[in-house]
Amino acid sequence: MKTPMQELLEWVRATLPMDLDTPQMIEQKIESMLKKEEETEMLRASLMKKVSELNDNKIISLYDDLSEFFNTKER
């Protein structure tokens, strides 16, 4: 699946006459934005992993707390 920036770059290359300066400048700008898009996606994935790990740790902590509570009640 292509990102919107990849689709735009494809469209520019297919539609605009590349012998002019303006389309080439547009192409270069889109290529630089593709790099930023990739960096942003990597950051998002890293943050989602950290959130997932944090949630897992909270679940484990809650489980431990509940286990301690119920073990205390049985005594």
Residues 8 and 40: beta-carbon distance below 8 Å: no
Break the chain into its structural domains and give their ranges: 4-74
Q: What integer best gives the mean pLDDT of the chain? A: 83
What pLDDT score was predicted for residue 40?
Answer: 87
Task: Assign 32 a pLDDT band (cuts: 50, 70, 90).
Answer: very high
- Considering only CA atoms, which of 19, 67, 69, 26 is closest in space to residue 10? 26
pLDDT digits (tens, 9 = 90+) for 8-29: 999 988 988 878 888 889 999 9
Rounded average pLDDT over 62-75: 69
pTM: 0.55
